[in-house]
Structure 1
């Protein structure tokens, strides 16, 4: 079993190895292509990606850090509501927010039309939202919860009791925040920003819809427009290096975060008092916390509902419900199958790692855990490269038809991308199971099979359900790999929403977009429930 799991883990690493292997054996033609990229498109891709990443990093750090500090350290009206409401934008994929923002803010949108009718102005009242800076603002609204979540947890567990001690020693509010809270929150802030940047660099929907030239859109343009797989692979490898750097930063920050954790801080966090805010300060705190929720979730949902209502009022022009049901069924089928497979792999890996069967398996599992950080565009290219190599040398195998003509390639991509999500949930579940239980089972002569099914499985029920749910929702929202690898007549809600929005049929794109958002609410509700104080004591 250990050898089989090790082989499965290495199989999931093939796409990354395929992309990196594109640099091996470069011939004169490949070097010419690479030189041409450096002279033409690569500087623009690098500059746009860098500007987007820097803007998003600053934005999510400020917005996520400010909201986390307010909720964790201060007491003001509606604070309990904002504790979970600030997580709602996690349910809104960036490309869906881009469709809603474009419809609402564009020249012919309801906001500009209403303002022109009210003021008598003519022409555009502001620049087009479909720009680099518009994309950065949308990413900030969608991704700040990563920073909020980690920073709030760090501040609640460590900064609150220490700030209470500083208050008893006579330190003022400003000094407590500056010298106690901010240094403790720095590792969590860095980890959250790194996660947000990985999502930003991996995005394809917003960049393609806004017409941006970034690494991800360049990969698809090289593969699908110019039919140059070498150029696509080289761009994918550069993006992979950037993501690996961010992953290193995130893991380093998480280690510092765990090192600074103390059991006493967690025990006394509930006893420490938050700083009360009144008057203007309380109103500003409510405003700061309310704006990202309104702009990142409430307003986009209202815009999508308005578009659906308009389409329903013109039923003969709107999206056919029969086709929508077919797309929804395909999405649920793919997401359900991928969730079951990824969770099964994670359970087997988690159990084997629990038994500490081999060093090779532990190293292979770490490779699998990196999969979520790999962008879908890189995975798609990494799958198609070795498939193309096999097809050229062994055409009788029909490897290309197997990968692109069936669900095999898509399921493979989903497992590469999302097995890490399931494994993280299962490992977190195992962390709550004392190892003494296993020792007792061994002494009683229980076999490994019986130990797993009769002892571990009941204890891992909640972790397994969480893994299923998280992978299911991630697959429902996934766009880049699905767009390339899906078989004929297997469009998902994400692909259909992107295609309709690309054709400027935003009204018809609203219904599948809204369905994706509603499904995305499930893990957000689960996460907000698990973060409640009473949940931690169960």
Structure 2
């Protein structure tokens, strides 16, 4: 027996070492794959731009930079005001309908930015329902006699994007308000702070890091947008990248603009970190009491609900109602276009395959950081989240460069060995598009899975390892069964994001390949809005799934379920 034990011991140690190396190597592979597009982008940006760079700098980029800066500033201020005030309203006050408002304020997240622009272009058209009703009430008969300001403007773009993206600030800020201990408010009251001033003197300063995080997420989504800005006549850097590459065929010039966009993203992230550089939070051993809301009277309660529901009406109810009506008209007259069946299948297959890959890679990165803590795995985890910070157009160009080079290598090798050309195998098969989905949304899965792991006590790992389990064995026996809920939540969020993704899909899709998002973009660009209503409604309906999940998680964490 002693001899047997002595011969088994080295095998066990070797197995443990190999298992640890496998997880560390896999995490490194994922990090390099996400980092590769950024490195390729920098390499391509130093290439010749076919003589168009001077033209772009003189006639395109100056206006694009100005428009992008104005758009980011306007959207940032609007989402900060809407998200913070909405979070304080449903946290600090109790009134009829507050429970409904808590989750309803999340609904605009289900509407992609390009869909709200598409919807409001028709809703607010000079001969549309809104302006037609106003003219009828005022006694006018023609748009020449009375018309509202054109929604195709910088102001219109800021307003529409702000009313769709404010939930990013609402989610993070409300979570901070809920976790602020009630005794902080009570201490401020004993020191003479009026209840009406608690928000400005206590709650808002403590919530600044959460507000900064939410605003930075909204601004990155604004920078990623291509459909809404183009529909509303605002020429941003994102649109400049798209037209420089697709219209002018200048990949190096597009890479240079994309690199400038990446610098903007880095600045946004640096600003977010700077905003919370000195913020530290400490908790006592006892669980802090939750913030107790102030009960409002009947009139004040109705007023509070009316004010709180306005962002929901503008950001979700109005566009969703419009899409439902238009889709019903379209299906009643012409039925559902046969094209939509194939496009829906394309959307589901690509989003589903990408979601599966994202969950696998996100699990690898998150578990490697958990099971093998150290600088290397922490670095791999940080690098693997870079893709989400890169706008879709920037990521698409960064992916195209190495994938196109690999396609060329495969084609040359195939012709040399078998005499058969393969052409653009990876790009033509959609592998490049799948790569873009995985790189862009890996951060969502890794973050959600890491959050699930954080709920598993470290003692479980130690017990499994003491019983002879390897790193992989501990994952299979302990972490995988206990993190199924986190995996399901991450999968749902990633699937919907893949389904809604427009910029990367437009640039990397194979020839004659359409998804619901690209179908909508094409129809809206041609002005045939009624043809795209069914596709837009399908995207919105599926987009409500993660919103419902977020609302349920929020109620559970706040102790209201």
Residue 330 (structure 1) aligned with residue 346 (structure 2): yes
Which residue in the other structure is 2:186 paired with?
Answer: 164
Q: Is 1:314 matched up with 2:333?
A: yes
Cα distance between partner residues in 1 of 2:476 and 2:559 = 26
| Counterpart Cα distance in 1 of 2:243 and 2:379 | 35
Contact 2:496 2:542 in 1 (8 A): yes
Aligned residues: 529
The match for 1:97 among 94, 108, 116 is: 116
Is residue 89–residue 296 contact of structure 1 (8 Å, CA) maintained in 2? yes
Quickly say closer, same or farther: Cα 1:393–1:533, change in 2 above 3 A. closer
In the aligned structure 2, how far is the partner of 1:98 from the partner of 1:126? Answer: 16
> Which residue does the alignment assign to 1:409?
432
* Pair 1:292 & 2:308 matched: no
Q: Tell me what 1:260 maps to.
A: 281
1:374 aligns with 2:397: no
| Deviation for aligned residue 1:415 | 0.9
State the Cα RMSD in Å.
Answer: 2.3
Secondary structure at the residue paired with 1:324? helix
Instruction: Mark the runs of 5 or more structure 1 residues left unpaired by the alignment.
Output: none
The 1:432/1:393 distance shift into structure 2, 3 A limit, reads closer
Highest CA radius of gyration, 1 or 2?
A: 2
Q: Structure 2: any 5+ residue segments left out of the alignment?
A: 1-21, 414-420
Matches of residues 352-501 of structure 1 in structure 2 within 5 Å?
A: 352-356=368-372, 359-389=375-405, 396=412, 401-501=424-524
Matched, 1:529 2:552: yes
Mapped contact 1:159–1:180 kept (Cα < 8 A):
no
Q: Please list the CA deviations of residues 343-394 of structure 1 after superposition, one character each: whole Å capped at 9, or x if unmatched.
A: 0111122222122166434312211112111111001111122344566788
Q: CA deviation at 1:91?
A: 0.8
Q: Give, in whole Å, the separation in 1 of the partners of 2:35 and 2:311.
A: 37
Q: Is 1:138 the counterpart of 2:154 in the alignment?
A: no
Structure 1 residues 261 and 372, CA gap change in structure 2 (3 angstroms): farther
| Partner SS state of residue 126, structure 2 | coil
Structure 1 residues 466 and 323 mapped into 2: Cα distance closer, same or farther (>3 Å)?
A: same
Q: Structure 1 residues 10 and 61 mapped into 2: Cα distance closer, same or farther (>3 Å)?
A: same
Following superposition, the deviation at residue 36 of structure 1 comes to 3.0
In the alignment, structure 1 residue 148 sits paired with structure 2 residue 170: yes
Q: How far does the alpha carbon of each residue in 1:128-185 deviate from its partner, in whole angstroms, 9 at most, with x for none?
A: 2122211111111111001111111111211644213323454312332221112112
Secondary structure (helix, strand or coil) at the match of 1:40 reads helix
In 1, Cα distance between the equivalents of 2:270 and 2:468? Answer: 42
Greater alpha carbon shift after TM alignment, 345-354 vs 522-531? 345-354
Counterpart CA distance in 2 for 1:164 and 1:74 is: 16
- For the residue of structure 1 that corresponds to 2:180, the secondary structure is helix
Whether the 8 Å CA contact 1:156–1:269 is kept in 2: the answer is no
1:214 positional shift: 0.6
Asked if 1 retains the 8 angstrom alpha-carbon contact of 2:35 and 2:386, the reply is: no
Mean alpha-carbon deviation: is it higher for 380-389 or for 212-221? 380-389
- Rounded Cα–Cα distance in structure 1 between residues aligned with 2:374 and 2:293: 48
User: What is the CA–CA distance in structure 2 between the aligned matches of 1:393 and 1:454, rounded to whole Å?
Assistant: 42
8 Å contact from structure 1 (residues 158, 261) kept in 2: no
* Equivalent in the alignment of 1:351: 367
